[in-house]
Amino acid sequence: MNRGGRSRGNQRGGNFSRGGGGRSRRHYRNQPPPNGPSRLWVIKNGSKDVKPPSNPADHRDGYSDKISSSSLQSETNMDAERTKVVQSPCLVASDRVPLNDGFSDKISSFSQQSETHLPSKFGDKNGPSPSKGPQTTGGSNLLENDNHSVEPFDICPPKTTIPFVLKPPLLVQNRERRNQTKSPMEGKNAIILRSGMVLLKSCITLNDQVEIVKKCRALGLDLGGFYQPGYREGAKLHLKMMCLGKNWDPETGKYGDRRPIDDAKPPDLPVEFNRLVEKAIKDSHSLIEKEDKAGNAEKILPWMSPNICIVNFYSENGRLGLHQDRDESRESLELGLPVVSFSIGDAGEFLYGDQRDIDEAQKVVLESGDVLIFGGKSRHVFHGVTAIHKNTAPKALLEATNLRPGRLNLTFRQY
């Protein structure tokens, strides 16, 4: 019943009436008021059918607004993070300034790992496989070309610790210096082993040995330096090798201007090495003339000027089977131009003979500073190294160079 044209519902400030002047309860269920029903209003009016709107924009109380805003912001941030991962500057072309390769690789790797760990609902259902990303391997200090790699070998590795070593008495030091500077012509320091084959004991002074080791180390760590040689069938030699002047290939037995394994050019033969070779040949000629007055020293042991050298480093277990040096030029072989061998470091057992027979071969121990020369009739002698005597290198040499345990051998010849 209406009084004064207004319903009781309107008089109370409500939004519906029991009569026909206001909105019906049925109409409200489908369309809530513009301002939305507050929680207090719903409890006061006893409505159980009113549900909070599903659209977050329709929430008007502060708490609901904060929750909605936080949820939207979180989801937006996750989408933005995924967009950054997929559209990383390392993976998508851009007109910006490109990053350097190393830094780009790191960002690319990190981006792919981040994408892999995103929740599945943000990406493809299957998701990117971690194994498809770039695989990184540990770096190595190698001298590489397109097909092969050569690992540098240091004959004098740096000292990790500095041991406390007592210096020998001055008397002992002076005795060692006299032995090193003693002429090979004195006593048994010069021996003719056979026609055209001479052994000069302690021919190389300690100072010269130190310089040879340091020079070989510097050359051995550079391009064309020490490497592990092998034969065609795959067998490896029990030593490290470096060629000077020309390269000698164990697989083909031929000399060349470059090393097949890495196309490296052999280092040049140092001039100071040539001087030591010339001195050794002169001392040998003096010994031959003294022992055989009727003979011609240069005919028994021809003169030569070396232009090639093979440097071998034998470890404590190193060895080399009996063989002949027959790969030089035909002219050099026919003239019998000698091979001059320097020994530095630990002593080695050297075999030589006319046949490739260990039992029939003769043996001599080559110590640090010894020089062995064989030419003329002995040019094609079979020779090899069967054993290395451990801990026999001069202590003064080791202190000055830190040479590895083993034997450094240089063989000079004229191609």
Strand partners, 388: 348
Query: Which residue's entry shows tokens 């029939």?
Result: 360
CB 371 within 8 A of CB 204: yes
- Mean pLDDT across the chain: 74
Last residue of some domain: 113, 132, 151? 132
Residue numbers in the known binding site are: 323, 325, 383
Q: Pick the residue with more confidence: 72 or 303?
A: 303
Q: Is 153 inside any structural domain?
A: no
90 and 121 together in one domain: yes
Q: Tally the domains of the chain.
A: 3
- Please indicate, yes or no, whether residues 82 and 122 belong to a single structural domain of this protein: yes
Residues 369 and 227 in one domain: yes
29, 76: one domain = no
Where b means 16+ CB within 10 Å and e means fewer, 366-403 reads bbbbbbbbbbbebbebbbbbebbeeeebbebbbebbeb
pLDDT at 111: 41
Residues near 135 by beta carbon (within 8 Å), at least 6 away in sequence: none
Q: Is residue 1 part of a domain?
A: no
State how far the Cα of 23 lies from the Cα of 45, in Å rounded to an integer: 14
Q: Which CATH number covers residue 312?
A: 2.60.120.590
Tokens representing 334 are 């026919």
More confident residue, 123 or 193: 193
Q: Exposed, middle or buried by CB within 10 Å (0-12, 13-18, 19+), for 57?
A: exposed
Q: 113 by DSSP, 3-state: which? A: helix
Claim to verify: residue 98 and residue 204 sit in the same structural domain: no
Kindly report, residue by residue over 332-376, the tens digit of the pLDDT: 999 999 999 999 999 999 999 999 999 999 999 999 999 999 999
- At residue 150, the pLDDT reads 83
Residue 158 has pLDDT above 70, yes or no: yes
Report the interhelical angle of 206-220 vs 271-291 (nearest 10°): 140
AA identity, residue 203: C
For residues 93 and 190, state if they share a domain. Answer: no
Q: Do 306 and 227 meet the contact criterion of CB atoms below 8 Å apart? A: no
Supply the range of the domain harboring residue 82.
62-132
Tell me the binding residues for Fe cation: 323, 325, 383
Answer yes or no: do 299 and 353 share one domain: yes
252, 285: one domain: yes
Question: Is 395 within the bounds of a domain?
Answer: yes
Q: 174 and 32: one domain?
A: no
The pLDDT tens digits for 341-353 are 999 999 999 999 9
324 and 374 both lie in a single domain: yes
| Residue 145 domain flag | no
Domain assignment present for residue 289? The answer is yes
Tell me how long the chain is: 415
Q: Percentage helix, strand, coil, to 5, in the chain?
A: 35, 20, 50
* 325 shares a domain with 236: yes
Boundary residue ending a domain (132, 147, 181): 132
* Residue 407 domain-assigned (yes or no): yes
- Are both 87 and 194 inside the same structural domain? no
Task: Express as a percent the part of the chain with pLDDT over 90.
Answer: 52
